[in-house]
């Protein structure tokens, strides 16, 4: 199994047109370039993977001493974002190898992982899609959650009870998105549909295992 993923940055959404004239909503992702910073081995680490660093235009100025030593050992300049991707033991990938957006092709099916937009503290209607109560006829029950447990037994709120609280800012994966376009020269990937997070947020793009690629948009 060769390298099946890359680190990118979400730019935003737009639309492109298919050959039949249909408008396709797509997310624009600056995918890579990435560089291999470390190889994880079964003998030393207990699993096989490669650690990728995202090469960005802005220079990394503040680096902790442990991370500085980590990059000096690899003989590479520091990267702000590091992520791991599983590979086979026999994969011909070495420290210092460059990974670009050309690991994908139009028609590939991918999973995109990012951090969702933070919504702050929200009630049950927005957070859990509760329907709420009546808005008229003297009702005093509008957006409240209702009963959260019995007063006698067990006299407590059961674990997992849905309620108000912090919403968003969680790791989310959107699965089975189709690659519509690949611009190798500019390092841009066009993925049909939306992906998690706000514009400018970091995302991980993985090839979907076991999904047959279709070269149609």
pLDDT in tens, 35-85: 999 999 888 989 989 999 999 888 888 889 999 999 999 999 999 999 999
Instruction: pLDDT band for 30, please (50, 70, 90 cuts).
Output: very high
Per-residue pLDDT, averaged over 109-137, amounts to 95
- Taking a C-beta distance cutoff of 8 angstroms, is the pair 172, 113 a contact? yes
Helix and strand totals (H; E) in the chain: 3, 12
The pLDDT, as a whole number, for residue 216 is 46
Which CATH number is 5-119+172-207 given? Answer: 2.40.30.10
The pLDDT, as a whole number, for residue 212 is 53
Query: What are the boundaries of each domain within the chain?
Result: 5-119+172-207, 120-167
Mean pLDDT, the chain, as a whole number? 90
Per-residue pLDDT at 202 exceeds 70:
yes
Q: Rounded CA gap, 76 and 85, in Å?
A: 19
pTM as predicted: 0.84
The pLDDT, as a whole number, for residue 217 is 42
Q: Rounded CA gap, 152 and 74, in Å?
A: 63
């Amino acid at each position: 199994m060769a390298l099946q993923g890359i680190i990118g940055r979400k730019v935003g959404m737009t639309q492109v047109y298919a050959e039949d004239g249909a408008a396709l909503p797509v997310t624009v992702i600056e995918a890579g370039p990435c560089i291999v910073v470390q190889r994880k081995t079964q003998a030393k680490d207990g699993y096989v993977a490669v650690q990728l660093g995202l090469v960005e235009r802005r220079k990394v100025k503040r680096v902790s001493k442990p991370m500085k030593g980590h990059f000096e050992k690899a003989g590479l300049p520091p990267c702000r974002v590091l992520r791991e991707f599983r590979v086979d033991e026999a994969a011909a990938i070495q420290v210092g190898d460059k990974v670009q957006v050309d690991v994908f092709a139009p028609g590939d099916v991918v999973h995109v992982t990012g951090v969702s937009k933070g919504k702050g503290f929200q009630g049950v209607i927005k957070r859990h899609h509760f329907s709420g109560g009546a808005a008229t006829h003297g009702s005093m029950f509008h957006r409240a959650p209702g009963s959260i447990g019995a007063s006698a037994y067990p006299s407590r709120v059961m674990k997992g009870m849905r309620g108000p609280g912090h919403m968003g800012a969680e790791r989310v994966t959107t699965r089975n998105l189709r690659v519509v376009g690949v611009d190798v020269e500019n390092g841009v990937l066009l993925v049909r549909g939306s992906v998690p997070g706000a514009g400018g947020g970091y995302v991980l793009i993985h090839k979907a295992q076991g999904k047959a690629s279709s070269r149609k948009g």
